[in-house]
Chains A and B, each alone.
Chain A
C-alpha cells in the first residue's frame, strides 16, 4: 500500500491513530458477532451476535472510512453516514422479523432461554394471523 499523502502533507499522526483504532475495533466487533452466531447453541442466542456486535462493528468501520476520506479530501462526505444510518435503522427490524419467524416455527431452545412460545400471546407467535387493518376482523 502506498504512503498516504494529504494535500497539505502527510496525514497527521493523531488522526491516523484514531482511524486505525476505529478500524481494528470494528474488525474485532464484527469477528465477535460472527463468532457468537457460529458458536452459540440456540437460535435465539445466535440472534444476539449479528444484531448487536456486527452492527456496532460496521458502524466503527464506516466512521473510520468517513474520517479517512475527510482528512484526505478536506471535505466531509455524506455517503458513509448514509450507509451507517441505513444499517442502524434496518438491523433491529430484520432481527425482530427473524425472531418472530423463529417463534412461529417453534425452534428448539436451550433451557435457560426465556420467553417460550407457550408464554406468549398467539399473535406474537404467529399462530393466529393478525387481522389486516383495512379488512377488519376475519
Chain B
C-alpha cells in the first residue's frame, strides 16, 4: 500500500514541478517568475522527502533543510531588490 501511495505522490509532485516550469517560462512579469521559483524549491523539498522514503534513509533531510533556508533567503533578496533597488541598505 505504501509503495502505491509513493508512486502516486511522486507522479503528482513531478506534474506540479512541470507546471511550475511552465509558469517560470511564460510568466509575464518578474514577480510571477520569482513565485514560480519559490514554489519550485518547495516542490523539490517534497521530492527529496519522497526520495528519503523510497531509499529508506534519512541522509537527505539535511539538504532539504538547506534548500528551504537558501530558497527563502533568495526570495526575500529578490523581493527586496524589486521593492527598494537595493538588498542591504
Contacts and interface: CB of A to CB of B under 8 A. Distances in A.
> Interface extent on B, as a size class?
35 or more
Given A23-B5, A38-B23, A80 B46 contact: no
A90 B65 contact: no
19 contacts: A1-B3, A11-B2, A23-B2, A23-B8, A23-B53, A28-B12, A30-B43, A31-B13, A37-B20, A38-B20, A46-B23, A61-B9, A68-B2, A86-B68, A87-B42, A90-B68, A94-B72, A98-B79, A132-B89
Given A24-B5, A37-B19, A83 B65 contact: yes
B82 interface: yes
Decide if the interface of chain B is mainly helix, strand, loop or mixed: helix
> Interface extent on A, as a size class?
35 or more
B63 to A, nearest CB: 11
Given A1-B54, A38-B20, A93-B76, A86 B65 contact: yes
A1 to B, nearest CB: 4
Interface string B1-39: 111111011111101110110110000011110111011
